[in-house]
Amino acid sequence: MASSDPPEIPDYKTEFLQSCLSANVLTFGNFTLKSGRVSPYFFNAGLFHTGSLLRSISTAYAYSIIDFLSNTQSPPQDFDVLFGPAYKGIPLACATVSALTALAPARFSSLSYSFNRKEAKTHGEAGSIVGAPLRGKRVVIIDDVITAGTAMREAIGIIEAEGGVLVGVIVALDRMERMPGSGDGAADRGSAIGEIRKRYGVPVLSIVTLDDLVGLLRGKGDEGDLKRLEGYREKWLATD
């Protein structure tokens, strides 16, 4: 039946998910998350530490950004700085700026990256920002996932304190689940990504979503993993 067919997704998303699976960045089992939930899958972007894997994730980020900028009718259409929160966001920002420049040099050759120090430097150039200064710049944050939104709000606070203007966020995976600690009422079933969108009025992109992963497993995954994943999605799916 057509309804059971896996949804078609762009090749770069499929290739990204395959890279995640082959490198055990994405694994299946029983994982207790920081929120206390027991998840049937775990995503660890810290394992993208080889040249080929870093190229895979940065290229997927780049294609996601280009697709959004090409298809959206809402401003802003461009940005000045890709900001990677310390620590996981640092290599992601650097590599993705390089990937964007390689894919669309006319548009992105002047794009900068920036990241924060965990502790402000008190000598030399001083300050807490490395890379491009943020004052007056249109900034997109890049990170791996948003779970509760705490780290993302901290990053936004840094950008605002430095005089930057947040215009978007991109993550590798949208888990599509409601925030930890939320209740059972319909009004309490929003996701951390949805909360960021509403609170700051900016687009929040992802390379892939939980639905993409379910679609991939329907096509060629383990039946047991698929059933557990679908059950988890049904239990915790956010309303936004």
Q: Which residues are part of the catalytic machinery?
A: 121, 123
Which value, in Å, is the radius of gyration of the alpha carbons in the chain?
18
Query: 88 near 144, Cβ under 8 Å?
Result: yes
Alpha helices in 42-173 (DSSP H): 51-71, 89-103, 105-108, 150-161
Buried b (16+ CB within 10 A) or exposed e, 128-157: ebebbebeebebbbbbbbbbebebbbebbe
Dihedral angle sign, alpha carbons of residues 64, 78, 168, 87: positive
Determine the Cα–Cα distance for residues 181 and 222; give it in Å rounded to an integer: 31
> At 198, which helix (H) or strand (E)?
helix 192-200
CA distances from 88 to 28, 48, 104, 171 (A): 22, 10, 25, 11
**First CA to last CA distance, the chain:** 28
Which stretches within 104-161 are classed as H helix?
A: 105-108, 150-161
Q: How many CA atoms lie within 13 A of 11 on its CB side?
A: 0
Backbone angles phi and psi of 30, in degrees to 5: -125, 115
